[in-house]
Amino acid sequence: MKQFIWLFFICICTLPNVLSKEDVLSEKIQQLTDWSLKKPIIRLNSERFKHYVKTAPRNYSMIIMLTALSPSRSCGICKQAQDEFQIVAQSYRYSSAFTNKLFFAMVDFDDGQDVFQYLKLNSAPVFIHFPPKMKPKKNDFMDISRSGFSAEAQAKWIHDRADVHIHVFRPPNYSGFLLVVLLVTMIGGLLYIKRNSLEFLYNPVVWGMFIILAILICISGQIWNSIRGSPFLHRNPQTGQIGLFSGSSGYQFIAETYVVFALYILFHINEFFFRKIKYINFLFYLP
Amino acid sequence: MTTVNDNSSEYITNSSSSSSAGLKSLITVIILICVCISGFISRLFSIIRFESVIHEFDPWFNYRSTVYMTDNGFYNFLNWFDDLAWYPLGRIVGGTVFPGLMVTSGAIHWFFHMINIPIHIREICVFLAPIFSGLTALATYLLTKELWSKRAGLFAAAFIAIAPGYSSRSVAGSYDNEAIAIFALIFTYYLWIRSIKTGSIFWSSCTALSYFYMVSAWGGYVFIINLIPVHVGFLLLLGRYSLRLYVSYSIFYILGLILSMQIPFVGFQPVRTSEHMIAAGIFILLQAYTFFDYLYNKLRYVRNIETIFFNLSVIISIIVFAIVVLLTYTGYIAPWSGRFYSLWDTSYAAKHIPIIISVSEHQPTTWTSFFFDLHLLICLYPVGAWFCVKDLNDERVFILLYAVFASYFAGVMIRLMLTLTPCVCILAAIALSKTLDYYADAESSEMVSNFDDSVSICDETENDENNQDLDNNAENIDETDDDDQNFLTSNIKIIVVTCIAMMLLLFIVHCTWITATAYSSPSIVLVSYNSDGTRAIVDDYREAYYWLRQNTPEKARIMSWWDYGYQIAGMSNRTVLVDNNTWNNSHIALVGKAMASNETEAYKIMTMLDVDYILVIFGGVIGFSGDDINKFLWMVRIAEGEHPKDIKEKNYFNENKEYRVDKSGSPILFNCLMYKLCYYRFGELYTDSAQPSGFDRTRSVEIGHKNFDLEHVEEAYTSANWIVRIYRVKKLSNRFQAKDALEKSTSSLSEESFEKNHRKGVILNKPHVKKGTKKSIHRT
């Protein structure tokens, strides 16, 4: 009988312990789910980070972006990274893959400097995946210098690390569409106002200019620039010398193509004024 | 040719006094013959330096098909199922190939044999491209003559004959579709211009026939079937509609549609895919427009009917567009294919089809490549376009559209420089001819003699050109304003003409140099220069392929990267897993995965695919940069695209995210099959006296992983300069291989004892492996 009482006593003692542990976990998950339903990215500060990420009972993974968004930090790419991260989180939030096993969060440098110290980081933005129950390993730091931080790259990386497939859904970019509409209405309006003198539309010179421009853009390698996105100039880090032309035939700088563009135009003008040379000639013989 | 030149110079002196039409055409014919001959000769560098051999990769497949066709007849060729390619899938060649090239050379072969000249089919294949370049020059002459004048035509013919942009794809031995397709392209355009000028049914039927030839020759026919409708559309928009246009386009479209569907590879595409929908839409629009035009002429007395007709035609075009969009959505019309779509959305291929961007000729074009391929012409090209704009008519609208579209496509993809080149030649010729009209006219006989002296150093072709210009100008002076001539003194004229002649001379030197150095290497025979300047021929490819042909069983299956598939099938006559017809991405990815995995994993894939031999290309000994180690990252990328769980690109980079084979390289790279096959026993070799053993001369590093053994494969053959290395895949059990021809009698005692000990296990293993093979075949 005594043993039974002991056993009972032990049970009584351990039960709340276990219960409280489970309670903490479910409470944490509940809280995180609530937050992420409200906003796809949970904003963490030092205390919250400690509570929800660092401390032990945790069976969910976290994707955390560490960044410095305040204007005083003057981090240019942080804003872009934030936008891309927002897209991924949003896509996850409204996709069928949304569970309480993966949460997106961010820590701003001004909110949680301890976090940066704890993770030994001195740059931003950094994307880290916290796997359930473990500390992040080397591969859990996303390599943005290599893959970039576009939403697609992030989704791929998350798929690799956390095994959650996120189909990135970008909100359609209306700004370009609006610009086109604006331009069309402007041109249309201009034409409408000037409808009595539309002769310039029948002027082959104007159209010729457009055609020549299109051809010159193509043959001076501007398409290559837009596909490859090369730097504008090359500056030698040692001497500070500016290189306008790239040495290899498979590469070019943007400035270089402008030079070539201008040269072709010069050639063109030259040819164009070949015809007018007779007047120059005439001037020479005038005296 | 110099004698011809002298003759024409003599004629010049006569022509200024008595210029008969006969003499003019005689000189024209002589010049055109000279152009054809110089075009032909400038493409023979590869034959003279190496030998009469088929070049590169794709031509080997074309050659093999041609041989098959001449041996077995055309109908057997159409039904040909090629079991040497894409093991175990095979390939239906007849239905997946443009037969124009094979039929053309087959017909020439048949003709020669009919008149009892027993020429080998290989010679015809080698010389087909240079011969067709002569025909292209003639077609360009005809087209430019229609667009501008005969003088410009002669210039254009001379330019296209030697321009590197075209000779890059048509040197002797590059037996590829483009060799005949450019001729068909230009000739179709000529006939089209001719038919809208005359409006005759005869010319538009000829256009359709020529278009049919183009469809049978090259997938680039899509360019024609889009450009001609766009031309018609623009003519409608510019208010240049005429009955001639209606007749020629309607006839061309209907006949062309029916004819193009006769090619098995094209089939129902012209009515089922988006690429062809512009043509269909314009056709319907043109019918409607003609109908309304007819009504309008009948009902002219009705007021305000013009605006009604205008609105009706706008509504009809919108309806046509809407129907096409609707049909695309409902699936009756296939959307743009990937390769075509990547021309418009340039980032498309990078995201979805890594195999397209892995090919170097699908890269965008830098301005240097434009200048490299077209030199002086690229500068004159916009000028010619300007002259066409200034003096617009129906056919010049066409060449302008051609110029804009071709420039864009050439900018996106370096390979399409080929379609731009004829257009550049034509417009540059127009610019030059127009300029010379002003400066090289025969005002005084004194100037003619001066001019002749100044350009006599010129190349024969150009010299002829200039003389021809003089000659024609003597009669066509009424084309230009007489008043202008007074201000141009003969001195200035001479200076300008001399400058132009010098530039043309430089152009010729450049073209010859480029064709000789850059575009005339067969790439299956390499050349290296010793320190004293003597040439050494590196003939490893053919050596190794011939070894395969002689020393392996007939049904042996060779695994290699897809680049070499056509060559192995063509030269060794052995079965390959993947080849240059990259129709099955997952199969290629499987081979890439095998190359990128470690030996054990690779062995599983190889037994699954029944591989007997592996062939790798390795350039580390002689410093050949186009080898498999340099291509390896593409294999990894393509494999990663299909098997992202097993292969990860970043594993093949070292700590600093670099791809290196020296000591700092990644261990996964050191253990993958490709590395091991390339560098097997390379660590024992001294390639450079000043360097340690195992020094890779292509990447200029000492390799990081030297002494290793191969477990599942064994070295079978390595060519003289180690470029081609062939390995035999060991079988699971040696016991049953004793009688097999695959195994040479090299089994040692220890191996035999191994067999005896493990006999039971081996037998049990065998059916298990076969099961795996079958399953995997279904999956792929």
- The pLDDT, as a whole number, for residue B378 is 87
Name B15's Cβ contacts closer than 8 Å, sequence gap at least 6.
B23, B24, B27, B471, B474
pLDDT tens digit sequence for A209-262: 888 888 888 888 887 777 777 777 666 666 666 666 666 666 777 777 777 777
Give SS3 for A105: strand
Top pLDDT among B281 and A143 is at B281
Tokens matching residue A227: 């596909």
Burial class (CB in 10 A: 0-12, 13-18, 19+), B558: buried
Q: Which chain A residues are closer than 8 Å to B385 by Cβ?
A: 208, 211-212, 215
- What average pLDDT does this structure show over B131-139? 94
B/e letters for B361-391, b = 16+ CB within 10 Å, e = fewer, are: ebbbbbbbbbbbbbbbbbbbbbbbbbbbbee
What is the identity of the amino acid at A60? Y
pLDDT for position B487: 53
CA distance B623 to chain A (A): 19
Integer angstrom CA distances of residue A163 from A61, A102, B245: 11, 10, 61
- Would you call A170 an interface residue with chain B, using a CB distance cutoff of 8 Å? no
Q: Are residues A21 and A153 in the same domain?
A: yes
Query: How many residues would you count in chain B?
Result: 780
Is B282 or B580 the better-scoring residue by pLDDT? B282
Contact criterion met (CB < 8 Å) for A221 and B367? yes
Nearest CA among B236, B216, B252, B203 for reference residue B102: B216
Instruction: Domain count for chain A, please give it.
Output: 2
Hey, is the C-beta of A138 within 8 angstroms of any chain B C-beta?
no
Contact (Cβ atoms closer than 8 angstroms) between residue B378 and residue B411? no
Please tell me whether the peptide bond between A71 and the residue prior to it is cis, using omega within 30 degrees of 0.
Answer: no
Picking from A160, A215, A278, the nearest residue to B385 by CB comes out as A215
B549 token code pair: 């042909």
Which of A5-9, B275-279, B512-516 has the weakest average pLDDT? Answer: A5-9
**Rounded distance between C-alpha atoms, residue B663 and residue B594, angstroms:** 24
- Tell which wins on pLDDT, A174 or B634: B634
Q: The complex's ipTM? A: 0.73
Asked whether residue B264 carries a pLDDT value surpassing 60, the answer given is yes
- Clarify whether residues A34 and A151 are in a common domain: yes
Integer angstrom CA distances of residue B155 from A165, B126, B384, B502? 61, 27, 13, 15
pLDDT at A262: 78
The 3-state secondary structure of B705-773, one letter per residue: CCCCCCCCEEEEEECCCCCEEEEEECCCCCHHHCCCCCCCCCCCHHHHHHHHHCHHHHHHHHHHHHHHH
Give the per-residue pLDDT at A286.
38
Same domain, A122 and A252: no
Residue A154 lies in a domain: yes
Inspect the interface and report whether the beta carbons of A278 and B487 lie closer than 8 Å: yes
Q: What is the pLDDT of residues A159-216, one digit of tens each?
A: 777 777 777 777 766 777 888 899 898 888 887 777 666 666 667 777 888 888 888 8
Distance, in Å, from the CA atom of B669 to the CA atom of B661, rounded to the nearest integer, reads: 8
The answer to whether residue A181 is domain-embedded is no
Residue B602's alpha-carbon distances to B559, B599, B607, B641, B645, in angstroms, are 12, 5, 9, 17, 15
Burial class (CB in 10 A: 0-12, 13-18, 19+), A191: exposed
pLDDT above 80 (res B84): yes
pLDDT at position B461 is 46
Q: Which residues 6+ apart lie within 8 Å of B63 measured at CB?
A: B54, B122, B125, B175, B570
Among partner residues A205, A207, A278, which is closest to B484 by beta-carbon distance? A278
A282 touches chain B (CB under 8 A): yes
Instruction: For residues A135 and A62, state if they share a domain.
Output: yes
Is residue B511 exposed (0-12), middle (13-18) or buried (19+ Cβ within 10 Å)?
A: buried
Q: Which of B399, B376, B458 is nearest to B153 (CA)?
A: B399
Question: What pLDDT does B767 receive?
Answer: 41
Are residues A156 and A267 part of one domain?
Answer: no
Please give the C-alpha separations between residue B145 and each of B149, B248, B322, B421, B624, in angstroms, as whole numbers: 5, 20, 40, 17, 47
User: Do A212 and A158 share a domain, yes or no?
Assistant: no
Grouping H, G, I as helix, E, B as strand and the rest as coil, residue A234 is strand
Q: How far is CA A222 from CA A252, A261, B349, B372, B373, in A?
A: 10, 9, 19, 17, 17
B370 close contact with A: CB closer than 8 A: yes
Is residue A58 domain-shared with residue A128, that is, in the same domain? yes
Whether residue A177 lies inside any domain: the answer is no
Check whether residue A113 and residue A41 sit in a common domain. Answer: yes
- Model confidence pLDDT, tens digit, residues B24-67: 899 999 999 999 999 999 999 988 888 888 888 889 999 999 99
Other CB atoms within 10 Å distance of the CB of residue B625: 10
Structural domain includes residue A192: no
Of A105, A133, A162, at which residue does a domain stop? A162
Asked whether the predicted pLDDT for residue B547 surpasses 80, the reply is yes
Predicted pLDDT of residue B454: 37
A249 burial level (CB within 10 Å; 0-12, 13-18, 19+): exposed
What residue in B sits closest to A286 (Cα-Cα)?
Answer: B487
In-domain check, residue A173: no
pLDDT given for residue A199 in this prediction:
66
pLDDT of amino acid B627: 86
Cβ neighbour number for residue B697 with a 10 Å cutoff: 16
What's the pLDDT score for residue A32?
81
Average pLDDT of every residue of chain B: 80
Helix crossing, B394-412 with B376-390: angle to 10°? 150
Judged by a CB distance cut-off of 8 A, whether residue B404 touches chain A is yes
- The residue ranking higher by pLDDT, B99 or B239, is B99
**Disruptive mutation site among B351, B368, B419, B649 for chain A (greatest number of A CBs within 10 Å):** B368
Residue A180 resides in a domain = no
pLDDT at B372: 86
Q: Please name the residues in contact with A45: beta carbons below 8 A apart, sequence gap of 6 or more.
A: A107, A111, A112
- Comparing CB atoms, the residue among A212, A218, A281 nearest residue B492 is A281
* B438 close to A (CB below 8 A): yes
H-run or E-run covering A64? strand A61-67
pLDDT tens by residue, A30-46: 888 888 787 778 888 88
Residue numbers of B between 323 and 352 with CB closer than 8 Å to A:
346-347, 351
The CATH code of the domain that includes A106 is: 3.40.30.10
Taking the CA of residue A132 and the nearest CA in chain B, the distance in Å comes to: 20
Q: Which two tokens stand for residue B70?
A: 């001449």
Closest CA to A42 of A50, A33, A51: A33
Q: Which of B:696-725 have CB within 8 Å of A?
A: none
Quote the Cα angle for B605-B606-B612, to 5°.
Answer: 175
Check whether the bond before A204 is cis (ω within 30° of 0): no
pLDDT, tens digit, 9 for 90 and up, residues A17-33? 555 666 777 888 888 88
Calculate the average pLDDT of chain A. 74
A169 falls within a domain: no
Res. B604 pLDDT band, cuts 50 70 90: confident
Mean pLDDT of B445-456: 38
Greater confidence, A102 or B109? B109
d(CA B305, CA B532): 84
Q: Do A205 and B404 touch (CB under 8 A)?
A: no
Distances in Å between the alpha carbon of B699 and those of B35, B68, B682? 44, 41, 14
Among the three residues A129, A162, A195, which one is the final residue of a domain in this structure?
Answer: A162
B772 against B381, higher pLDDT: B381
Q: With CB atoms and an 8 Å threshold, state whether B367 touches A249.
A: no
The confidence score (pLDDT) of residue B254 equals 95
Q: Is residue A245 part of a domain?
A: yes
pLDDT attached to residue B747? 42
Reported as half-sphere exposure (CB side, CA atoms, 13 A), residue B708 has a value of: 22
Alpha-carbon gap, residue B609 to B779, rounded angstroms: 12
Q: Report the share of chain A in percent with pLDDT over 70.
A: 73
Please indicate whether, in this complex, the C-beta atoms of A223 and B412 are within 8 angstroms of each other.
yes
Q: What is the pLDDT of residue B479?
A: 41
Whether B229 shows a pLDDT value over 80: the answer reads yes
Poorest-pLDDT segment among A236-250, A258-272, B111-125: A236-250
Give the helix, strand, coil percentages of chain B, each rounded to 5: 65, 5, 30
Which residues of chain A are within 8 Å of residue B364 when distances are taken between CB atoms?
Answer: 223-224, 227-228
Residues A40 and A104 in one domain: yes
Top residue of B238, B366, B496, B637 to mutate, by most chain A CBs within 10 Å, is: B366
Structure tokens at B725: 């290395």
Residues B402-421 have a mean pLDDT of 90
Give the pLDDT score at A20. Answer: 63
- Residue-range definition of the domain harbouring residue A84: 16-162
Which pLDDT belongs to residue B493? Answer: 77
Which residue in the block uniquely carries the two structure tokens 């210029």? B19
Residues in A closer than 8 angstroms to B414, CB to CB, are none
Residues 181-220 in A contacting B (C-alpha not used; CB under 8 Å): 204-205, 207-208, 211-212, 214-216, 218-220
- In this complex, is the C-beta atom of A249 within 8 Å of any C-beta atom belonging to chain B? yes
Q: Is the pLDDT of residue B488 over 90?
A: no
Pairwise CB contact (< 8 Å): B407 & A219: yes
With CA atoms as reference, report the closest residue to B404 among A268, A20, A212, A32: A212
Most confident of A266-270, B157-161, B271-275, B616-620: B157-161
| Residue among B347, B367, B372 minimizing CB distance to A252 | B367
Residues A44 and A119 placed together within one structural domain of the fold: yes
